[in-house]
Every structure is written in structure tokens, then in C-alpha cells.
Amino acid sequence: MVHKFIDSFCKVLNVVIALCLAVMVLLVFGNVVMRYGFNSGITLSEELSRWLFVWMTFMGAVIALKEHGHLGTDMLVGKLGPAGKKFCLALSYLAMLFICWLLFKGAYQQTVINLGSTSAVMEVSMAWVYAPGVVFAVLAGLILLTDLFRLLTGQVRDEDLVMVQESEESPHGGGKA
């Protein structure tokens, strides 16, 4: 049930990210045309584009986490047996959950602190700049807890214990290691 919710939510996030990117391109391109062609500009273009980029980055990180698409190394873990791999994977999930907690705590504090502050151009609460950290931490924590639960209940196959995405530039090609 949680897995289906995460999959559905990530599909929505893909659409939101595409919309953010489209708005950013239109704003920046429109601003360039206005400045060079009409000696004018869109005043909120730079600020809104920056904010959309922040949101887009954090939401893209949620999708990458769900798809195990972040880069990593398996030099040590790849040489371990299944029990060692499970232990290291569980340990890494716990470390990532702790980092999510730290990110949540800090981003939440910054969001609360900046509720009353407004941006210079749009005059919108600066809390919107820090809120994506809170959203990311909650969604990433949910994904990590789900993956940890699947690991601890034996629902992860042995070939999926090393969750490393190789770089396209690596001599081994691309794809999962």
C-alpha cells in the first residue's frame, strides 16, 4: 500500500518537475528577450526561477532515491556475502534516516524562522525556500523506511542488495552494478 502511494506520488512529482522546468525556461528566455529586445525585463524572473530550481532539485532527489538512481561505490560491499551485504544495506538505511532527520529538523527550523520574512521581489514568505527540505526529508524518510522494512522482512532479492548506479563514464558501461 505504501509502495503504491510512493509510486503514484513520484509520477505526480515528475509532472511537477516538468512544469517547473518549463516555467523556468519561459521566464529566463522571456527575460532575455525583454532585456535585449525591449530594454525591459520580468522583475520576478530571477527570483522565481531560483525558487523553482530549489524545489525541482529536492523533488528530483526524491525520485532518484525511490529509483535507487544515485551514484555510489560497491568496492567493499560487492565482495561480501549476502549476510554482509544485508548488514551494510541496513546500516546505510539507518545512516540515511538519521541524515533525513537532521535535514528535517534544520529545514523545519529555517521554515518556521522565515515564515514572517518576505522575499525582495515577489514579497512571498521566505519559508517557501526552506520548505522543500522538509518535504524531501519526509518523503525520503518514508521511502527509506519502506525499503528498510522490505530488507528486514526478506523481500529484497540477493542480487538487489548492492544498490549502486554506475556512472555512464565508467569502463563497465552504465546500469546497476
Q: What is the pLDDT of residue 164?
A: 60
- Is 167 part of any domain? no
Answer for the pair 107, 131: CB distance below 8 angstroms, yes or no.
Answer: yes
Q: Is the residue at 46 inside a domain? A: yes
When divided into structural domains, the chain yields a total of 1
Task: Report if residue 175 sits inside a domain.
Answer: no
Q: Burial of 147 by CB count in 10 Å (0-12 exposed, 13-18 middle, 19+ buried)?
A: buried
Calpha distance 144→2 (Å, rounded): 12
Residues in the chain: 177
Question: Taking a C-beta distance cutoff of 8 angstroms, is the pair 104, 138 a contact?
Answer: yes
107 in a structural domain: yes
Is residue 12 situated within a structural domain? yes
Distance CA 66, CA 39 (A): 45
Query: Are 58 and 132 within 8 A, CB to CB?
Result: yes
CA distance linking residue 64 with residue 10, whole number of Å: 10
Closest CA to 162 of 99, 68, 95: 68
Residue 177: the pLDDT is: 41
Mean pLDDT by runs of 10 across the 177 residues of the chain is 82 94 92 86 87 94 89 75 86 95 97 92 92 95 93 80 58 48
Handedness of CA 123, 129, 131, 135 (dihedral sign): positive
Domain boundaries, position 26: 2-160
CB 76 within 8 A of CB 61: no
* Packing angle of the helix pair 45-66, 127-152 (nearest 10 deg): 0
Any domain includes 74: yes
In a domain, 172, yes or no: no
d(CA 60, CA 16): 10
Instruction: Answer yes or no: is 174 within a domain.
Output: no
Per DSSP, what are the bridge partners of residue 71? 165
